[in-house]
Amino acid sequence: MQDETREGWLFVTYRDDQMGMLRGLVASILELGIVEGLSLSENQERGLWFVFDEVDSLGKVSSLRGGLTKLRKYGGRCVLGLQTVSQLRETYGRDEAQTLLANLSTKLILRAGDNETAEYFSKELGEQDIDRLQMTTGQGTSSGGVLNPGHSSESSNTSYNMQRVRQAAILSSEILNLPDLHGFLKIPGQPVGAVQVEYQAMPEVQPGFQG
């Protein structure tokens, strides 16, 4: 990182069957990357990207919260991908997991695989006020009065009124049933929008990681 004339990527990868043994090592390498980024001179134009895929499955990276809040002035950008909110809470604890999620200002929400995650991001996307037309039907009985004593008749009446109610802008059921590559994008200062992500296949330039 100190040599800013060089460009490149550092991939920290593993096979699924190795994750139990390598979780601590992977977390330590990511930790070093964040600490190194925070040691650079301030430069918001640097363009130093930290991409944590399936961050909920990685070991706990203690400096991640500090990285999310401070790396920006050093040119750092953090991208976190996660599968379930519950796994993130298990790794970091409920309060710190919430702090991490709150520091991610831009969110792309794709299909969730469990109700808890879907409900969390439904709340994250906010609420909306809608007007609903309600119909009320009543029944009444009237007597014949002095001109027709002993006679009564039944009548019905219907009334309509508008009622304003508040509900989730995006229901959790919608998030659970999103098609592949469809989701919702939340950008600060902008309304939530439905998006479709275009899949771009990358050319194979090196053999896959074998371990």
Amino acid 209: pLDDT: 72
Which positions ≥6 away from 70 have C-beta within 8 Å?
A: 38
Under a CB-based contact definition with an 8 Å cutoff, are residues 76 and 103 in contact? no
Which positions ≥6 away from 85 have C-beta within 8 Å?
A: 56, 97, 101, 116, 117, 120, 121
Low-confidence ranges of the chain (pLDDT < 50): none
Every domain of the chain and the residues it spans: 128-168
Strand, helix or coil at 127?
strand
Under a CB-based contact definition with an 8 Å cutoff, are residues 31 and 59 in contact? no
User: pTM value?
Assistant: 0.78
Amino acid 84: pLDDT: 96
Amino acid 142: pLDDT: 59
Q: Give the percent of the chain with pLDDT over 90.
A: 60
Give the H/E segment covering residue 109: strand 107-109
Amino acid 102: pLDDT: 95
At 29, phi and psi to the nearest 5? -65, -45
Amino acid 3: pLDDT: 67
Residue 146 DSSP code: T
Amino acid 149: pLDDT: 57
Amino acid 150: pLDDT: 56
pLDDT in tens, 7-45: 788 888 888 888 888 888 999 999 999 999 999 999 999
